[in-house]
A and B are shown apart, each in its own frame.
Chain A
C-alpha cells in the first residue's frame, strides 16, 4: 500500500523568506511524486513532479522540490515567499505500473505574512 504524510497542518512564513512544506511517503518500489496547489474555491493545480533523474525538481511559480530516497521525503521549497503563495498544498504519490490510484496527503495550509 502507498501512503503520503504531510506532518504540518499549517506553515506560516514571512514574505520574502524561504519556505518549506514537508512531505514523506511510503511505497513499495520507486515512487512517482507530485505537488499540487489549491487556491480558495478552486480545483487543484499541478506544480511539479518527480519521476526519475535529478533529485531537485523545478516547477511552476518558482517552486522546487527535493527528492530524498533515503529519507523518503519530497519537500516543497521556494527561496522567497510571496503573499500570493498563500494556499493549500498537497503532496501526492503513485507507484508505477498497474492500475494504482494517486494517493494525496492531507494538505498543508501555507500562510505568507506580509
Chain B
C-alpha cells in the first residue's frame, strides 16, 4: 500500500458531463501530481501542486482543472467529457516535490466516458 488514496476507483459517465476525481496524498507529503494513462498516449503528466500552489503544468486540457486544498488533498475536475477522455487517472505524491524524490502512486481512477 503506497499510502495514496484515490476515489472513486471506477467512474462511468456520459459525454458532456463533469466529474471530480479525488486524491489524498501520503501522510506528510506536500506535493501532488496527476497523470493520465491511456493505451495510445502512455503515461501523460497533467499537473503538479505543492502545498496548495500549482508548481508545474503538463498536457492538461483547458476542460480539465485541479486544485490542492489546505488539508493537502487534491481534486481533478474534468468537464465537457469526450469519449477520448476515457483513461486511467493516477494521483501521486512526494514529500516536497524535489527532483530526486520518488513518487508514490495511488491505484488510480478508471474513467469510462460512454
Contact = CB atoms under 8 A, between A and B. Distances in A.
A32 B4 CA distance: 23
B65 interface: no
Interface of A: 32, 34, 36, 41-46, 49, 51, 90, 94-97, 99-107
A103 B58 CA distance: 10
B45 A46 contact: no
A32 B43 contact: no
Given A101-B48, A104-B42, A44 B100 contact: no
Interface of B: 2, 4, 33, 35, 42-43, 45, 48, 55-56, 58, 90, 92, 97, 99-100, 102-108
A46 B103 contact: yes
Given A90-B43, A94-B99, A99 B107 contact: no
A107 B108 contact: no
Contacts of B2: 43, 45
Contact of B90 (A43, A96, A105, A106): A43
A94 B35 CA distance: 15
Nearest to B41: A106
Given A43-B90, A101-B58, A107-B43, A49 B100 contact: yes
27 contacts: A32-B99, A34-B102, A36-B103, A36-B105, A43-B2, A43-B90, A43-B92, A43-B105, A43-B106, A43-B107, A44-B103, A45-B2, A46-B103, A46-B104, A96-B100, A99-B48, A99-B55, A99-B97, A101-B45, A101-B48, A101-B56, A103-B45, A104-B35, A104-B43, A105-B42, A106-B42, A107-B42
A45 B102 CA distance: 9
Contacts of B100: 32, 49, 51, 94, 96
